[in-house]
Structure formats: structure tokens, C-alpha cells
Amino acid sequence: MSDKERLYNLIKETFLLLDDGDRRFFSRFDLTVSRYYALHHIGAQPGISFSQLSDRMVCDKSNVTRIIKGLEACDFVVRQPHETDGRTLRLYLTDVGKSVLNSATSAHKAYNEVRLAAVSDLTEKNLIQGLAALNQFLQQEIDGATV
């Protein structure tokens, strides 16, 4: 196996381990990973549209609609009509949604401190630089700038 293949496999395995840990972690707040990130994006941009949320979450609008219906059923999110565009709905967190998001975010930060404690400061800086460069290249590839 080449170094590039090993690197790819390690990144993929790390993602799967982090994702599984997040899935288990967020279940304590009665959230899925997708629901948490929907709350996160709505909290960061109150009034975000379904289309904008779909772009941020990199999924189609029907999936976002399903996620939002679940969040509405838990009283975490409300939708309101756009002031000038009758076809567009805006999404807002309720007070309950804000509270859950704040609690989950604080606890998740602490959880990540524990999970990433095995990485030394020097290694962390190298990982950040390397992964940032890789992410930029991969995004350009998706955007069609490189092949």
C-alpha cells in the first residue's frame, strides 16, 4: 500500500470514528448529527432559508425538510414566511432550540478536547495545516477548478 493510500484510509477511518462518536454523543441530547448541524446553522444565521440550509449541510432540500419537520416536532425550530418573497420560508430557533443547541455545543467542545488530547500541539498544527490544504484542494476539485 502506498503512503497516499494509507493516508486516504487513515483520514477515512478517522472520519468514521469521529462521526460514530458524534452520533453517540448527540443522542444524549435527543439529536442526530444532522439535526445538531441544522440547529447550528440556523442558530448562526437566524432566518436562513431551506435552500441555504441545504447548501450548508450539503444535502438536498427534501432531506432538509425531513430534518426540519423533526426539529419542529420537538419545538426546536419554527418556520416563518419571508417578508417579501411569499415562496420562501425562514427558519428560526425557538427558546427550547437555543437552549438545546447551547448545551450540546458546550458539551461537544469539551468532548472534543478529550477526544483530541492524544494529539500533541506540534502534531495538531501540522494536521491543521495539512488538512486545510487538502480541504481547499478537494473543494477546488469539486468546483471544477482542478482535475
69-100 confidence digits (pLDDT tens): 999 999 999 999 888 777 888 999 999 999 99
SS3 90: strand
The alpha carbon of residue 50 and the mean position of all alpha carbons in its chain are separated, in whole angstroms, by 15
Q: Is residue 141 part of a domain?
A: no
| H/E run at residue 91 | strand 89-93
- 89 occurs within a structural domain: yes
pLDDT tens by residue, 9-68: 999 999 999 999 999 999 999 999 999 999 999 999 999 999 999 999 999 989 999 999
Asked if the structure places residue 144 within a domain, the reply is: no
| Cα–Cα distances in angstroms (integers) from residue 40 to residues 50, 94, 95, 118, in the given order | 14, 13, 14, 27
Split into its structural domains, the chain has a count of 1
Query: Where in the sequence is the domain holding 24, given as residue range(s)?
Result: 3-116
- Residue 9 sits in a domain whose CATH number is 1.10.10.10
pTM of the full structure:
0.86
Residue 126 lies in a domain: no
Specify if 16 maps to a domain: yes
Does residue 145 sit within a domain? no
